[in-house]
Amino acid sequence: MKKETKKYTYAIGRRKRSTARVRLFAGKGQIVVNDKPADEYFKDVPKVVYLKPFAVAGLEGKYFATARIIGGGTTGQVGAFVHGVSRALIKVEEEKYKKVLKSAGLLTRDPREKERRKFGLAQKARAKKQSPKR
């Protein structure tokens, strides 16, 4: 007997060192991140931040989203999640949501990464060693 598979839209979002693999299902509006509810997983982040793609597209409560997020810290993970959800919404209905999401800046991959530390300097990327005055 064939197992019935659920229909979903899949997209990947990235920010800093984080990668989010997002699945969107038509449903109640719940969000599950790494097997936890989103408000529990992102407890230090305002709800408005990670629900922004749905708010901009006017889809609050219309989709059930699951996400697997690896790497990075809280800010990077939230950014990756928002990027992934935005890309998934475009796959659902491109003409309808692309213009709105793009104008809100949610489809652009933020290219800023941590700068590498240079040898011969102090412990940070651009910090110089202190020079003796006399």
By the 8 A CB rule, do 59 and 31 touch? no
Please give the Cα distance from 56 to 97 (Å, whole number).
9
Domain encompassing residue 81: 9-103
Residue 126: pLDDT above 70?
yes
By the 8 A CB rule, do 82 and 53 touch? yes
Question: How many domains would you assign to the chain?
Answer: 1
Give the pLDDT score at 2. 56
By the 8 A CB rule, do 108 and 76 touch? no
pTM for the structure as a whole: 0.86
Q: At what angle do helices 74-92 and 94-103 cross, to 10 degrees?
A: 150
CATH number assigned to the domain comprising residue 87: 3.30.230.10
User: What are the pLDDT digits (tens) for 27-83?
Assistant: 888 899 999 999 999 999 898 998 999 999 888 888 899 999 999 999 999 999 999
Residue 6: pLDDT above 80?
no
